[in-house]
Amino acid sequence: MRMSALSFSLGMVLATGVNATEPTRCSTPDPSQASVIQLLKRSKVNAHTLNPPGVIKIVWHDIRASNGDGAVSDETLVKQRNMLNQAMRANGIPITFEIFRMPREVIDDKFFATCSDNLALIRQQSFQPENYINVFSCGDNSSLGWAYQPYGDRFDEKDTANRVYVNYRTLPGSNWPGYDLGATLVHEIGHYLGLVHVFYPNPEEGTHHICERGGNPVTGGGNPGYWGDYIADTPAQKEATHGCPAQAPSSCPGAVDSIHNFMDYSFDSCLAEFTPDQIKFMYFVSATARPILWSGGTAASKKTSDNPVLIKVK
List the catalytic residues.
188
Furthest CA-CA distance within the chain: 57
Measured CA to CA, the distance from residue 75 to residue 32 in angstroms comes to 39
64 vs 139: CA distance, rounded Å: 8
Contacts of 44 (CB under 8 A, 6+ apart): none
Instruction: Please tell me the distance from the alpha carbon of residue 278 to that of residue 212, in angstroms, as a whole number.
Output: 18
Element (H, E) at 111: helix 109-114
Residue 250: CA atoms inside 13 Å, Cβ hemisphere, count?
5
Give 273's DSSP letter.
B
d(CA 245, CA 20): 16
Sign of CA dihedral 152, 153, 154, 158: positive
Q: Which of 171, 156, 135, 136 is nearest to 57 (CA)?
A: 135
310, amino acid identity: L
Our CA angle for 100, 158, 312, nearest 5°, is 10
**Secondary structure letter of residue 199 according to DSSP:** T
Q: How many CB atoms lie within 10 A of CB 224?
A: 9
CA distance 167 to 176: 11
